Structure 1
Amino acid sequence: MLILSLDTSAAASAALLLDGVVIGRFATEDTRTHAEVLAPAVAALLADQGISGADLDAIVVGVGPGPFTGLRAGLATARTLAYVWDVPLHGVMSLDSIAEDAGAHAGSGEFLVATDARRKEVYWARYRADGGVPELVAGPQVGAPTSLPALPAYGKGAGLYPEALAGVEGFTDVHPSAAALGRAAYRRLTAGLELLDTTPLYLRESDARVPGPRKRATA
């Protein structure tokens, strides 16, 4: 199964996977250029492997949680490519990508995944690992790090708030990645499990507001 995976819930990333093995990847730490870098990165990944979009068996995309602008860039790109290439499209919660690696590290037991939501808050979810395979227990949610359960925490949120979260060494500066997202999607697809649609998980209301009526000038 050949999968193209995309995620822009934090930094922009893309990956190609063949039968669950990553054969090409792209990632940037810049959180402001998603729309500019993602499409060229996909084109380069396909060209490096000598394949076309029509050769793909599926496209998967991280649906958040994440900021509005960055998340929309990835979703719009994934939807456009799936339509143009006539390829099945699936959504995966972006925190699941960190949980995929965290579960393998933890082996068993419960843990948290937390990423930066700004405003002194984190996007977070709670997981249980069984034999290295993560299962979602609660979330995703957005909230203050001080309100989270006292469990091992993976992700950049744990690095930002070490006084509140029990960060796991080596995993406190981790963003969601397309490579891990693709592995999570492949595992579920081959197990016959359903994935999400591409409805974004913003978790917050937009800061943008429609302007009100203009005030009438008075003499």
Structure 2
Amino acid sequence: MTAPVLIGIDGGATKISGAGIRRDPRTGQFTFRSEPVEIPLASTDSFSPEFKPVDLQSQLQDLSRGEFHLTEAEIRQGTAFVEATRQVIRSCVPGDSSPPILVGIGLPGLKTADRRGISAMANGPRMPEFCADLERLLRRDSISLLAPIHHLGSDADYCGLGEEYAEEGAFTGWEHAYYLGGGTGAADALKLKGVLLPLDATKDWLAKTWELQSPEGLSMERFASAGGIQAVYA
């Protein structure tokens, strides 16, 4: 049986990135099989630079009621996320006769109950049918999935996985480590006693970067992310 093509996707507020992944059977570590690909959301037809997210409290109220009242602007912006992800995957598929692909996706935002969509996002649109919409486009492209996309993961947690299991990962060999990565926002990950801990599991005693406040009332994410640094110092 031909081994599936592994593809990892990292979604952010401004772009979707991804690459083909190869696992070394001797070490269990992962390396890039292909050069990483980045597709700016702004390069898609549906993207609007004027998009403003629905107020987060309104999103959370809808979520508590189990309802999604998506605006037309959210639907269009969500289409941009799905289309950019589709383009990244297409770029990572090695030719027309590719074996089935297995895709892992990390996206910001709160996940739906089935973990295949986004139910609330501070800096982007809600996308409750993200995986279903993406799978429909991939079928249209005749790209075969080994299995349906199981769930959307936390982009921050996946940073920790990458540092732990990549061939040159910064967590490799360390028993205790903390990761802080800056992009449009900030992603943090934690390793204690040799085990990766999702930050959601430490909320009783460790706050996330966006929750930590400076004496001036600014979140620490403002000082760690590219967008925050520009806002503070530009």
TM-score, with length taken from structure 2: 0.45
Higher relative contact order (CA 8 A, sep 6+): 1
- TM score, norm. by length of structure 1: 0.47
> Higher strand fraction: Structure 1 or Structure 2?
1
